[in-house]
Amino acid sequence: MTAPLRGLRVIELARILAGPWIGQTLADLGAEVIKVEAPEGDDTRRWGPPFVTRDAPDHDGDGGRETVAAYFHAANRGKTSVTCDFADPGQRDRLLALIDTADVLIENFRVGALARFGLDYETLARRNPRLVYASVTGFGQTGPRAHQPGYDFLIQGMSGIMDLTGDPGGEPQKVGVAWIDIMTGLYGVIGIQAALAERDRSGRGQQVDLSLLDTGIGVLANQAMNHLVGGATPTRLGNAHPNIVPYQVFAVADGHVIIACGNDRQFVALCAVLGMASLGTDPAYADNAGRVAHRNTLCARLGDGLRGWAKAALIEALDRAGIPGGPINSVAEALADPQVAARAMMIAPGGIPGLRTPIAFSRSRLDLDDGAPDLGAPI
289-321 pLDDT tens trace: 999 999 999 999 999 999 999 999 999 999 999
Helix, strand, coil shares of the chain, percent, nearest 5, are 40, 15, 45
CA-nearest of 137, 138, 135, 136 to 156 is 138
| pLDDT for 55 | 83
d(CA 211, CA 142): 10
What pLDDT band is residue 62 in, cutting at 50, 70 and 90? low
Instruction: Give the residue-averaged pLDDT of 68-90.
Output: 98
pLDDT at 324 over 80: yes
pLDDT at residue 57 tops 90: no
* 119: nearest Cα among 93, 141, 143: 93
Q: Distance between CA atoms of 145 and 103, rounded to whole angstroms?
A: 30
Q: How far apart are CA 234 and CA 175, in angstroms?
A: 17
Please state the rounded mean pLDDT for residues 65-87.
96
Cα–Cα distance between 160 and 225 in angstroms, integer? 13
Q: Is 181 a catalytic residue?
A: yes
Q: What does the alpha-carbon distance between residue 154 and residue 40 come to, in Å, rounded to a whole number? A: 26
**pLDDT surpasses 70 at 128:** yes
Q: Give the model's pLDDT for residue 54.
A: 87
> How many residues are there in the chain?
379
State the pLDDT at residue 65: 82
The arithmetic mean of pLDDT across residues 145-151, rounded, is 96
pLDDT grade, residue 63 (50/70/90)? low
pLDDT in tens, 260-290: 999 999 999 999 999 999 999 999 999 999 9
Which pLDDT band, with edges at 50, 70 and 90, does 10 fall under?
Answer: very high
Query: 210 with 135: CB under 8 angstroms?
Result: yes
Please provide the DSSP assignment of 104-149 as one string: EEEE-PPTTTTGGGT-SHHHHHHH-TT-EEEEEESS-SSSTTTTS-
Distance CA 105, CA 32 (A): 12
**Residue ranges with strand state E in the chain:** 9-13, 32-37, 51-55, 65-69, 79-83, 104-107, 132-137, 207-211, 247-252, 255-260, 325-327, 346-347, 354-355
Cα Rg of the chain, angstroms: 25
Assign 369 a pLDDT band (cuts: 50, 70, 90). very high
Taking the C-alpha atoms of residue 293 and residue 196, their distance in angstroms, rounded to an integer, is: 48
**How many Å apart are CA 136 and CA 336, to the nearest integer?**
34
Q: Which of 28, 42, 181, 374 is catalytic?
A: 181
**CB atoms inside a 10 Å sphere around CB 257:** 21
CA 178 to chain CA mean position, Å: 7
Q: What is the model's pTM?
A: 0.94
The mean pLDDT of the chain is: 96
